[in-house]
Structure 1
Amino acid sequence: MPELPEVTALAAFLTEHAGGQTIAALTVASLNVLTTFDPPASAMVGRTVSGVGRHGKFLDLTTAPGPTSPDDAPPELHLLLHLARAGWLRWSDAISPRPPKMGGPISLRVVLSGGGGFDVTEAGTRKSVTAAVVTDPQAVPGVARLGPDALDLDRAALAAVLGGQTGRIKNVITDQRIIAGIGNAYSDEILHTAKLSPYATAGRLGPDELDRLHEAMATVLTDAVLRSVGGEAARLKGEKRTGLRVHARAGLPCPVCGDVIAEVSFADRSFQYCPTCQTGGRKLADRRLSRLVK
């Protein structure tokens, strides 16, 4: 799943490659991808890309009226994209002007006036990628529910956000309503760097633990952004994988202590951690509600 660093990099990439161009065509090629109907997706055609930003893990393509837009065109119109777990953005300098086939791996295609453009793709049969055309990003429920951005939290704000939270820290920092931008992969990296158990209770962290968590969030996410921004969109997934120390590395040695990285698996996902660095040498039971195995 693209998280804060990758979505930041995609926004920077599109700003460079699509900024100032007119949208020549926008084709929706999946029945479930478009979550809005007014304005219609066709309202984006003829408008100029004026900026690309991010709200948590949502990508925001902002447009202004173009040369052929009607006089009553809204001053801003946004294309909000959420790439979910298996979605991605595939750029082409010479994209086909032909609409993609319905039901295939391409969910949405944007063709620009310069001949380039991008496809929003999704692997697998479970279709979760979404797109919305709105005059205000806050009209998208997922955006309106977002908590503060992970990179905007200072230490005091992080303590306030976590105060009173009774859930496990792994679940809390990936809950977009509490903190926006962190997903499964970077939460593993943050907790490993902070030397915190994924099962620690979020609202019971001590001052030293909060210090370590705040520093780890800032360091891990900032480093990932710096590695990602400026790269080609097609290479961002690989760049993410090369920067990970524990996530998706079960069975390999921890780069800090050399212990074997362990894993907890659920029905449709898993997380990884280092027993020595994070749980005092104890392994977490491989069941969602289990406690530490003694």
Structure 2
Amino acid sequence: MPESPEVQALADELDARMRGHEITAVDVVEFRIGKTRSRPPESLVGQHVVDVARHGKLLDIGFGDGDRLVVSLGRHGWARWAGADTATDAAADAQATTGDDAAAVSEPPPPTLATLVFDDGTAVELTDAGNWVSLGVWVVDDPTEVPAVSKLGPDPAAADFSRAQFDRAFAGRRKQVKAVLQEQESLAGIGNAYSDEILHAAKISPVVHAAALGDDELDRLFDATVGVVSSAIAARHGIPIDRLKATKVAAMRAHGRSGEPCPVCADTIRDFSFASTTAQYCPTCQTGGELLPLKPA
């Protein structure tokens, strides 16, 4: 799932290449991605891009006539330049899902669900590699008209993100701390991968309730949340969008590293079941040696 560091890098590259250019054509292959039926993406033809921004995990493309194209990348959505080599991102998708390099090599590129063509001849393809359509697009006057944007909590990458905002997300919550980290209404932009990285850096069990965290643990979690997200955004800056997913996979210290030695203590990184997916943790660093449950295959 795309998370804030990669989506920010995607927004930056799209802004650098698309700003000032006119959309000359829009080709929607999968009609289900359109969430504003009275204002389809095709209505943007003839407009010029004025900026590209990020809200949590969502893209927000602004146009000169005041329209905003908000793109939810969903579970497996992404963007690529038409004609680009798609093998790198396909491999990263497969490896992130299976951990199998052989499977990654054979994975086909994700299908294109919509294409935006610009006046300089370049085109951006919106893709979705999932088994169901999770990509969604809205044409609106204000991004807060999109429910996924309006409900977002504070962003740990924002310059004005504060400890008070963090404490409001966690204090007294009888909910597993990993779930709070991924709850977009509490903190914007964090998903399965970066929540694993944050908890590993903070040396906190992913399944402990937020209400049970002591002051020292909350201090470590705040520092790790801001540090991991901010450093990842900085590290992804300037990485071409066709390499972002692979770069994310390569940078992980705990997430996706099941069976490998922990880079801190050398214990074995392990899987555990979380919601409808699998996540990773270090027993020595995070759970006092306790092994978390993994559902049978």
TM-score interval for Structure 1 and Structure 2 normalised by the shorter chain:
0.7 to 0.9
1:171 aligns with 2:174: no
8 Å CA contact 2:49–2:62 kept in 1: the answer is yes
Contact 1:33/1:131 (8 A) holds in 2: yes
Percent identity over the alignment?
44
* Residue number in structure 2 paired with 1:89: 79
Describe the SS at the equivalent of 1:151.
coil
Q: How many pairs does the alignment contain?
A: 269
Q: Comparing 229-238 with 156-165, which one deviates more in the overlay?
A: 156-165
| More helix, by proportion | 2
For residues 130 and 57 of structure 2, what CA distance do their matches in structure 1 show? 20
Distance 1:163 1:182 in 2: 18
Matched residue type, 1:80: V
Judged with a 3 Å threshold, the aligned counterparts in structure 2 of structure 1 residues 267 and 209 are, in CA distance, closer, same or farther, namely closer
Distance across 1 between alignment mates of 2:78 and 2:50: 22
- 1:263-274 matches, within 5 Å, as 263-265=271-273, 268-274=276-282
Q: Give the 4+ runs in structure 1 shifted more than 3 A.
A: none
Aligned-pair Cα RMSD in Å: 1.7
1:114 is matched with 120
**Structure 2 residue 10 is the aligned partner of structure 1 residue 4:** no
Task: Work out whether 1:77 is the aligned partner of 2:67.
Answer: yes
Change (3 A) 1:204 1:265: closer
Of 267, 280, 288, 1:280 maps to 288
Aligned-partner residue type, residue 254 of structure 2: V
**Any conservation in 1 of the 2:169–2:180 contact (CA below 8 Å)?**
no
State how 1:100-249 maps to structure 2 within 5 Å: 105-152=111-158, 153-249=161-257
Paired residue type of 2:206: P
Instruction: Find the counterpart in structure 2 of residue 40 from structure 1.
Output: 40
In structure 1, how many angstroms separate the alpha carbons of the residues matched to 2:39 and 2:132? 27
The CA distance in 2 between the partners of 1:267 and 1:197, in whole Å, is 15
TM-score, length basis structure 1: 0.87
Deviation at 1:265, TM superposition (A): 2.8
**More moved, 269-278 vs 155-164:** 155-164
Q: Deviations over 1:51-81 (max 9, x none)?
A: 000111000111113xxxxxxxxxx111111
SS of 1:226's equivalent?
Answer: helix
> 2-side partners of 1:177 and 1:268: how far apart?
19
* One-letter code aligned to 1:278: Q
Partner of 2:94: none
Look at both structures and tell me which one has the larger radius of gyration over its CA atoms. Answer: 1
Deviation at 1:267, TM superposition (A): 7.4
Contact 1:196 1:279 in 2 (8 A): yes
Trace 1:17-32 onto structure 2 (pairs within 5 A): 17-32=17-32
- TM superposition shift of 1:92: 3.4
Separation in structure 2 between the aligned mates of residue 26 and residue 286 of structure 1, nearest angstrom:
45
1:125 offset after TM fit, Å?
2.4
Offset at residue 266 of structure 1 (A): 5.2
Unaligned runs of 5+ in 1: 66-75, 95-103, 288-294
Q: Amino acid of the residue matched to residue 42 of structure 1? A: E
Kept in 1, the 8 Å contact 2:256–2:279? The answer is: yes
Deviation at 1:47, TM superposition (A): 0.6
Deviations 1:174-225 (A, max 9, x none): 0111111000000000000000000111133211111111111111111111
Q: What is the CA–CA distance in structure 2 between the aligned matches of 1:135 and 1:40, rounded to whole Å?
A: 13
SS in structure 2 opposite 1:79?
strand
